[in-house]
Structure 1
Amino acid sequence: MTQDQDRTLLFDIVKTNINETYSPHNGSFKVPFDRVYGFTFSVREDGSSYGSYEIMKNNVAVGSAIGIVEGINIQQQVIRTVIISADKSDEISVRTHSSLPHHGLILSNTRGRSMFAGWLISD
């Protein structure tokens, strides 16, 4: 069990990574062009876990979501999507919340993955 705050999540199963803009080593997507983008994450927690997560743009929160089902023997997905304007070389990532503690496990396996995705919306 962990009680971490302000920790960048690493999504190490990479399905599509055009131009290698996402780094599974530091959990960051480096924006390739000045444009409008969509970003989403889904974090799978076990039944004894709770946490809040933030989508970050250059270390500034642009969206957050919280999941609390502690003590119930179920799993949950905590999901958030944002649409943002970003400049070339901005870094987008997901982290545990900066001021709320995270407790428990984040799961990702063939039964259900935690995930992070980004896509270009507009030129």
Structure 2
Amino acid sequence: MNICVVILLTVLTTESVALIDNDYEAGYREIRTILFKQQEEIRELKKISLVQEKKLRSLENENEALRRNVDELNAIVLKLEASRPTTNPSDDINSVSNTSSLQTRQIDHSGESLFSNGKRLTTSTPVAFYAYMSTSENAPSNHHTLVFDVIKTNIGGGYNKHSGMFSAPVAGVYVLTWTIYSGDNGKTVFGIFVNDDMVCSTFGETNDVDYDYDSDTGVIVVSLNQYDDVFIRSIMTCSTNIVSFAWNTRTTFAGWKLD
């Protein structure tokens, strides 16, 4: 009787071990199958990532090329502005063509250049402007001129929202101020230029923290001749964005003539 029990227990134990081995082998095969599938998926994701990285680099190169083109065009505009005559062609209007009379320009409140209407500005004419950037700019390159495209004040019509330049409509002593918001984790350096001369600059630096904006403001008092151009331009390649929104955190440019 005891021998039969022992034999039965031995048979049951052997079968149980076999079942366990079979279950283990099946589980192992299933895990290996899952791992192989995941490895294939990872390889496919890596391929997709490489393609996206190539596309991103291509877009960055195109963006940098466009920036360089814009900066070159801005430099050409500056040279043309600097080379224009400081005399008023309306003084000799009978001896010049209508094309030359473009030099006797006034600028309206929208920032567009217009033909002169014959009205002369005097040194006692009040001049003041204030404008801000409606959108942020992604890491401006070196020699990039900021354009403050939303005009809130433009008494005397000296500021142009398309070029970002203030051209003194009359000679005098002016107060000029600007505020630049720098984005996360980077540095920015901007100078204020009168024609080709940098008068002052501001520096911004932020940490790698979300919404760690840096606000830098500059103020200068400077004597300007009629038609002198004033603008804000980067003096290094910025490693972070210039932040500006319509409702808050505005990057601004303003000025006024002292009486």
TM-score normalised by the chain length of structure 2 = 0.44
The structure with more helix, counted as a fraction of residues? 2
Residue 111 (structure 1) shift? 2.2
Do structure 1's residue 25 and structure 2's residue 155 form an aligned pair? no
* Aligned-CA RMSD value: 1.4
Do structure 1's residue 88 and structure 2's residue 226 form an aligned pair? yes
For 1:21-76, what per-residue CA distance to the aligned partner results, in whole angstroms no more than 9, with x for missing partners?
11110000000111100101001112223200101000210110101124243111
For 1:64-107, what per-residue CA distance to the aligned partner results, in whole angstroms no more than 9, with x for missing partners?
0101124243111111111001100000011111xx32122111
CA distance in 1, matches of 2:169, 2:244: 28
Instruction: Compare CA radii of gyration and give the structure with the larger one.
Output: 2
Do structure 1's residue 53 and structure 2's residue 190 form an aligned pair? yes
Residue 5 (structure 1) shift? 0.8
**Aligned match of 1:34:** 171
CA distance in 2, matches of 1:34, 1:54: 22
**Aligned match of 2:248:** 111
Residue 3 (structure 1) shift? 5.1
CA distance in 2, matches of 1:118, 1:11: 13
Contact 1:31 1:86 in 2 (8 A): yes
Runs of 4+ in 1 over 3 A off after TM superposition: none
Q: Which amino acid aligns with 1:76?
A: D
Contact 2:157 2:169 in 1 (8 A): no
Counterparts in 2 of 1:13 and 1:49: CA distance versus 1, 3 Å: farther
The number of aligned residues is 120
Contact 2:182 2:205 in 1 (8 A): no
CA distance in 1, matches of 2:176, 2:140: 26
Greater mean alpha carbon deviation, residues 13-22 or residues 79-88: 13-22
Do structure 1's residue 76 and structure 2's residue 205 form an aligned pair? no
**Aligned match of 2:141:** 4
CA distance in 1, matches of 2:150, 2:251: 10
Unaligned runs of 5+ in 1: none
Residue 19 (structure 1) shift? 2.7
| Aligned partner (choices 1, 14, 24) of residue 151 of structure 2 | 14
Contact 1:35 1:121 in 2 (8 A): yes
Percent identity between matched residues is 26
CA distance in 1, matches of 2:161, 2:193: 16
Unaligned runs of 5+ in 2: 1-137
CA distance in 2, matches of 1:88, 1:70: 42
Contact 2:165 2:230 in 1 (8 A): yes
